[in-house]
Amino acid sequence: MFAARLTLILLIAATACAQDASTGALRGTVSDRSGARVAGAQVTLTHPETGLERRQTTDDDGAFSFDLLRPGLFELNVSAANMRPQRHTAVKIDVGGVATLHLTLDLGAVEEMVTVEGGTPLVETQPSAVSDVIEQRALDDLPLNGRRYTDLALLTPGVTQDPRGLTSSANGDLAFGGVRGYHTSFLVDGSDNNNGFFAQARGRYRAPYQFSNEVVQEFRVSSNTYGAELGRSGGAVMNVVTKSGSNHLHGSLFYYLRDGRTAAVHPFVRKKYPDRQHQFGFSAGGPVRRNKVFFFAGFDQHIFHVPVVVQFENGQTTLTALPTDYEVTDQALVTATAAELSKLGGQYRARLLGNSGFLKLDFLLSPRHVLATRFNLSRYYGENNVFLDPSSPITNFATSENGEELVGTESANFALTSALAPRWNSSLRVQFSHDGQRSTANSDAVRTTIDTIISGFGRSSILPRNTDEKRLHLTETVSYEGRRHSFKAGADVSLTRIRNYFPLLFGGQYIFDTIRVNPFTFRPQTFGLRISPLRAYAHAVPRFYIQDFGDAVSYPNTNELAFFVQETIRVSNRLALSLGLRYDRQTFRSDRLQTNPLWPDSGKVPSDRDNFAPRFGLAASLFDPNRPLVLRGGFGVFYTRIPQIYNSVVETQNGLNRGHLFLDNTNFFAQQVFPAYPNPLVTCGTSALTCTVPPNVSGFVEREIYSFDRDFQTPYVLQGSLTAEKEVMRRTAIGAAYLFVGGRHLIRARDVNLPPPSELDYPVFNEDGTFTGEFYPVNSFASWRFTPSIACPFPPCINPLTRPIAGVGAITSFESAARSTYHGFTLSAKRRMTEGLYFRLAYTFAKAIDNGQDALVAGRPAQVEDASKAQAERALSSTDQRHRVVFAFSAEPKPFGRDRPHLRRVFNEWRISGLFTGGSGRPVNARIRGDSNRDGNVENDRLPGARRNGFTGPEYFSADLRLTRRIYITERWRLEASAESFNVLNRANKRVAVSDDGFSNTAAAFQVGDQVVNNTHYPASFVRQKTFLQPTNAYAPRQIQFSLRLKF
């Protein structure tokens, strides 16, 4: 059956073909001095490094074109009868770009060759996306902390860091146009390089990098209105081209060292902790058989030894009991408990180890057929490396809650590029890839959280985990170049098979919080003595116990198919139009899905067939024909893919085979089955595939359901742009752009099993216990009880949540209901390396608004605060950043000429480069600790009266510099020694807490328990946090790195 399907796919792909995203194109015309076009001129394009040669004859309009070209430098030779031939050197072809040359021949003898240097214009005159090419110059020269090449995408306008995956040292996801970063797509050599489950680049951000900088030639970031050949993305498409071999042996050996002893002290750490990072490896390329077969190989090893500094929430590595934590009768016990907990604090070892390997073989089968094969792999492993921020070693979790993670990726890629005829070209690509991510837990002890003391110790709630993904990706490309138009049509197919093992909270968790107890027995009591979390832990009186049950394994397979057609019409020499249409279809495995009779929408996956996406673009060249002002505009529809983490939870959490236990130790009935600390209620080991609910607590287990909404539609994004760009001098261009991005049908999770809320007022206190005189109104999903009962002997009390569908807990519906709007204005300037100077400048002024688009909340509670008023979520997006500026440069001054050889040797072979980044503060969400609206979700409560993301965090600025000295050993061998400093000014770039959902800070705590204000009893109250909006961490301080590179 699989073979039959694969045969059908290949037949379809052979008849409807797709753009090869890893190549470029060259267009041009040939004229004489009078301006008349020269028909019948012979045009020969040669790739000097490999000897590849392609020929064409100009048509009646004197036009020629070459498609599906490997990015790099070419040589162009033009000849015509009775005219002097020309040779153009350094004709640069960029990935995904269309270079244009207008050539003028002089009358003369054919033996008189004219050589022209200078290459292609910097500004393209064809309809194209809002995009930027990050050239090899930037990869080689710019200071790059961690050497992750994708971080250089931050050089482009309109980009910012998505909070998901963001740490003090890693940028995580990259967000474009206000939509979340998981909508960004990654291609390598024209083939898919995405993790379908987590919707990130393959290997995610666990591994330092999957491809070393040494094997990347360049990459293009297409951020708005890209052509129909690119899809499955609502954000940007990052298109990487890897290096190939040539007729000359070339390569490098390298070593990078970063030692913590040369770094500055982290603003939130009181001393330096020893850390050391080594990165070393090699790359080499050359001929296997000259002009026929070439190889390129590389290996990169990453070794990072860094401490984990466990601090308690008071910022100390030791814990001291306060007078409010004890009385005389139990002072010794509480003090001893604090001393025992102090053993969890301090410095612990962590290791991040990784490597990547690469091998590529290119075969010139004939002048018209080229076969490229590539195999690459990466590994990431270590110790205490699951939860770790290398540049900010502070954590409030004990190392027992950490774990060890092994990430392994492999891909094998085959690409056949063929010139079928002078105007017809074809490219077939086949890739198999594997992404395996396995995390183990450091401990199998029950997880424990002590509020205001330590965030957790024991087995992590999300460990172990094992996600294994295999993917087959096939594409076929054909293009036709006519006299006044270029036609493309295509299809690609992706088959993904996934096994996900995720025993969420199978180990159980105790939460110690403020609680009222009998002062003699220390048993929980509604109107007893209020004791602190530390004192409660000392007496082994937890407030809550939670544990999940059910199946831990899912198989969220998916198949994806896409077709497109695109026509570029050159209306005149100064005006071109582009018309495109793309169709995307994604299907999901459904044979393992079960529908819960209590919620008929459960156990179903989307089946949206109407995903047609039209796209339009235009380009007009005005004024100077040699360096015109190029105006471009575009608009299009871009359908996104649905990450497999969603259909995974739909499979496992359908309310039939998965349940959530939540016990409140202050509830009389829960006390009857509440387990004795530190024993879990049910022991489910770290390799258990299922965890079964014991009969005595089945009445307390909520059967939560995750499902797609019955009206779910595939998310899509509207993108529009207007740009102006001009090459103002040789290899120097400036530009301005307006960008519009509108997300439609974006995924937003919402709990749809809640009753209508009612507004209740709670008193507000300061941390010292004084009443502020204020009351916070809360839209509460639970009412108050004013009559006595067993569970509420002394009213008023907060009633348990009564859900409309009894017997089911939260029903989290994945709705295609979120919208986003982004308006951005960008200014840019760039210069290719000319006369020893290269630079890029980009400034973005933008605003992003949405109504709560998700950051992959699948498997955890929804973030919508009031499920009855989801429209109230409209506010600044978590990806909003009003101002962002970045400037990068590389300069090689050569003050002395050949007439001063001694000074020339000393002062001429230096290079200085830098990267400066500044940005305005990011939106901050004012969070409430505790479930103030009583919807059973402690993760979505906000400060009453405050909008989502209603506050602003600190600004950011960092300057990185690198100084390099080049020493020639021989003409072909040279040594480069570099010293670089990241955040050279050591600016304290402070920040608040960051999670996948955005930046946040705790504004107040909601505490359940009797409070009396003006002789009126209230069942709960708010306690304001005096630390609200105070930064809790910082990005990396100044770090210094040294390197040696031997190039040949």
Q: Are strands 509-512 and 447-450 parallel, antiparallel or unpaired?
A: parallel
Residue 32 falls inside a structural domain: yes
pLDDT for the residue numbered 878 = 96
Residue 751 falls inside a structural domain: no
Tens digit of pLDDT for each residue in 845-857? 999 999 999 987 6
Helix, strand, coil percent content, the chain, rounded in steps of 5: 10, 50, 40
- The domain boundary, picked from 120, 137, 169, lies at 120
Position 13 confidence tier, pLDDT thresholds 50, 70, 90:
very low
Cα–Cα distance between 642 and 712 in angstroms, integer?
A: 11
- On whether the CB atoms of residues 176 and 638 are closer than 8 A, the answer is no
Position 9 confidence tier, pLDDT thresholds 50, 70, 90:
very low
pTM of the predicted model, to two decimals? 0.92
Cα–Cα distance between 184 and 617 in angstroms, integer?
A: 21
The mean per-residue pLDDT over the stretch 157-162 comes to 91
C-alpha angle with apex 385: 379 to 391, nearest 5 degrees? 105
The mean per-residue pLDDT over the stretch 6-31 comes to 59
Cα–Cα distance between 632 and 649 in angstroms, integer?
A: 43
pLDDT for the residue numbered 988 = 95
Residue 687 falls inside a structural domain: no
H runs (alpha helix) in 482-586: 533-538
Q: Residue 315 belongs to what domain range?
A: 290-441+454-478
Q: Above 80 in pLDDT, residue 442?
A: yes
Q: Which two three-digit tokens encode residue 17?
A: 């073909």
Q: How confident is the prediction for the chain on average, in pLDDT?
A: 92
The mean per-residue pLDDT over the stretch 889-894 comes to 93
Share of the chain above pLDDT 90, in %: 77
Residue 790 falls inside a structural domain: no
Q: Which of 173-177, 272-276, 373-377, 602-606 has the lowest mean pLDDT?
A: 272-276
Cα–Cα distance between 935 and 1006 in angstroms, integer?
A: 13
Total count of domains within the chain: 2
From the list 304, 253, 298, 356, the residue with the least C-alpha distance to 977 is 253
- 446-471 in b/e form (b: 16+ CB < 10 A) is bbbbbbebbebbbbbbbbbbbbbbbb
Q: Which two three-digit tokens encode residue 59?
A: 């048509």
3-class SS at 883?
strand
pLDDT for the residue numbered 5 = 42
Q: Which two three-digit tokens encode residue 190?
A: 């024209």
**Hey, CA dihedral for 538, 540, 541, 547, is it positive or negative?**
positive
Find tokens 């393209």 and name the residue. Answer: 124
- The domain boundary, picked from 88, 120, 152, lies at 120
pLDDT for the residue numbered 14 = 35
Cα–Cα distance between 675 and 446 in angstroms, integer?
A: 12
Residue 115 falls inside a structural domain: yes
The mean per-residue pLDDT over the stretch 115-143 comes to 85
Residue 329 falls inside a structural domain: yes
Cα–Cα distance between 666 and 674 in angstroms, integer?
A: 10
Cα–Cα distance between 368 and 473 in angstroms, integer?
A: 24
Residue 68 falls inside a structural domain: yes
The mean per-residue pLDDT over the stretch 101-106 comes to 91
pLDDT for the residue numbered 114 = 79
Q: Above 60 in pLDDT, residue 17?
A: no
Position 118 confidence tier, pLDDT thresholds 50, 70, 90:
low
**Hey, CA dihedral for 363, 369, 370, 373, is it positive or negative?**
negative
**Domain containing residue 105: CATH number:** 2.60.40.1120
E runs forming strands in 39-97: 42-47, 52-57, 63-69, 72-79, 86-93
3-class SS at 896?
coil
Q: Above 90 in pLDDT, residue 658?
A: no
pLDDT for the residue numbered 110 = 66
pLDDT for the residue numbered 605 = 95
Q: Above 70 in pLDDT, residue 16?
A: no
Tens digit of pLDDT for each residue in 209-245? 889 999 999 999 999 999 999 999 999 999 999 999 9
State which H helix or E strand residue 331 sits in: helix 331-342
Residue 856 falls inside a structural domain: no
- The domain boundary, picked from 79, 95, 120, lies at 120
Tens digit of pLDDT for each residue in 32-82? 998 899 999 999 999 999 999 999 899 988 999 888 888 999 999 999 988
The mean per-residue pLDDT over the stretch 920-948 comes to 95
The amino acid present at 592, given as its one-letter code, is R
Helix/strand/coil (H, E, C) string of 118-154?
CCCCCCCCCCCCEEEEECHHHHHHCCCCCCCHHHHHH
Q: Above 70 in pLDDT, residue 11?
A: no
From the list 115, 112, 120, 119, the residue with the least C-alpha distance to 80 is 112
**Residues across the chain:** 1048
The mean per-residue pLDDT over the stretch 837-848 comes to 96
Tens digit of pLDDT for each residue in 533-557? 999 999 999 999 999 999 999 999 9
